[in-house]
């Protein structure tokens, strides 16, 4: 039995034992401080803001009885070490992008983004009303986590390149930073894919260690300074159409908290999702205009490249379908996306088209 199967079996067995014992939970009394580690360097526009916002909200709503001590990437553990830090009890909570942890389980990708997946609105439709949250919780039980969505970047840009992309062959041998299943898809096109923490991307691009990178979108990208290195920018990408950020608490720690404190964490995470999404979307338009005014060349991938993205992405997703939980998560997400998209396209999509036509 592999580690994942063992953990899943143990989680189910533990849950059953807890149910049959009927023991009353023992809630921690008095004030408590929880250590929150993040995948974000301190000050990274938007993503660090989301982590800080949810931490401050929990402290404020609990009137200080539940204080969150935020440690940015590298201050306690490295950006990609936060998952293990929380599951082991070294830290109490993490805030990050769950697709960084697809090596733990590929299903985690769906709670950030998968290529050709859900927009931000479609993601929350699935998460809160069509089974997504329950699947996130089921996945978390395997690793001893209690997880919630707690931020969203909206649709992410295709990225920064040193030269124009005119065909799928241009990715062959290209050293490109892209995490998650989107990065795995680029690998199938011949790219040498790098998975770097956000705080390390600028230096890697500036030094020539990578040939290109995606990060988030105009506001965060401008803040990171990528336009100082290259001015070829693709504004639409296939890999993260509505990237969710997550807040995960060590499950034993979460269950020790009072019901009021548990609810505060849940509500603070949900509010942070909308606050974060609106922060990105309200800043991206003006930032893009500033980038263009500064000489950045905005590009779109040709259809042949989009077709190659689509084929490679489907191959990657199909590769994981032998995992029963991954298959259930994917099927649930895609069914929800199709249902949500049909109405959004019929109503909002048509309205946007007509609004642009009427208002010029």
Binning pLDDT at 50, 70 and 90, where does residue 8 land? very low
Has residue 15 got a pLDDT over 90?
Answer: no
pLDDT of 29? 62
What single-letter DSSP state applies at residue 129? H
Long-range (24+ apart) CB contacts under 8 A made by 263-266 are: 264/58, 264/61, 264/62, 264/66, 265/58, 265/66, 265/148, 266/148
Q: Strand, coil or helix: what is 71?
A: strand
Which residue in 89, 84, 85, 133 sits closest to 104, CA to CA? 84
Mean pLDDT of the 100-117 span: 98
pLDDT of 16? 39
Q: Is 281 buried (19+), middle (13-18) or exposed (0-12) by CB count in 10 A?
A: middle
Q: How far is CA 119 from the centre of its chain?
A: 12
Dump pLDDT digits (tens) for 122-150.
Answer: 999 999 999 999 999 999 999 999 999 99
Mean pLDDT of the 241-263 span: 98
Which residue in 88, 78, 91, 317 sits closest to 195, CA to CA? 78
- Where is pLDDT greater, at 100 or 7? 100
* Beta bridge mates, 161: 212, 232
Who contacts 162 (Cβ-Cβ below 8 Å, separation ≥6)? 211, 212, 230, 232
Alpha-carbon span 102 to 111, nearest angstrom = 11
- Which residue in the block uniquely carries the two structure tokens 């807040």? 247
pLDDT of 26? 55
């Amino acid at each position: 039995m592999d580690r994942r199967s063992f953990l899943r079996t143990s989680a189910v067995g533990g849950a059953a034992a807890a149910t049959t014992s009927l023991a009353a939970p023992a809630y921690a009394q008095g004030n408590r401080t929880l250590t929150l580690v993040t995948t974000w360097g301190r000050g990274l526009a938007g993503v660090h803001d989301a982590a800080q916002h949810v931490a401050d909200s929990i402290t404020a709503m609990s009137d200080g009885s539940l204080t969150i001590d935020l440690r940015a990437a590298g201050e306690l553990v490295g950006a990609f070490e936060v998952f293990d830090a929380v599951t082991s009890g070294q830290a109490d909570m993490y805030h990050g992008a769950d697709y960084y942890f697809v090596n733990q389980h590929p299903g985690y990708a769906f709670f950030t983004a998968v290529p050709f997946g859900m927009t931000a609105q479609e993601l929350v439709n699935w998460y809160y009303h069509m089974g997504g949250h329950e699947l996130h919780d089921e996945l978390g039980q395997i690793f001893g986590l209690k997880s919630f969505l707690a931020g969203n970047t909206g649709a992410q840009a295709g990225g920064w390149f040193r030269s124009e992309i005119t065909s799928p062959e241009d990715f062959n041998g290209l050293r490109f930073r892209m995490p998650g299943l989107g990065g795995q898809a680029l690998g199938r096109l011949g790219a040498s894919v790098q998975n770097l923490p956000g705080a390390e991307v600028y230096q890697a691009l500036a030094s020539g260690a990578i040939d290109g990178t995606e990060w988030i979108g105009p506001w965060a990208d401008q803040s990171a300074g990528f336009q100082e290195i290259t001015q070829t920018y693709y504004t639409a990408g296939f890999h993260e159409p509505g990237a969710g950020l997550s807040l995960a608490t060590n499950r034993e720690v979460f269950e020790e908290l009072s019901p009021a404190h548990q609810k505060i964490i849940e509500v603070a995470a949900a509010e942070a999702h909308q606050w974060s999404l609106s922060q990105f979307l309200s800043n991206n338009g003006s930032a893009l205009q500033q980038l263009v005014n500064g000489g950045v060349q905005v590009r779109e991938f040709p259809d042949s490249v989009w077709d190659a993205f689509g084929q490679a992405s489907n191959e990657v997703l199909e590769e994981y379908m032998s995992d029963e939980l991954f298959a259930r998560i994917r099927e649930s997400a895609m069914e929800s996306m199709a249902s949500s998209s049909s109405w959004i396209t019929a109503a909002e999509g048509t309205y946007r088209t007509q609004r642009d036509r009427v208002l010029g």
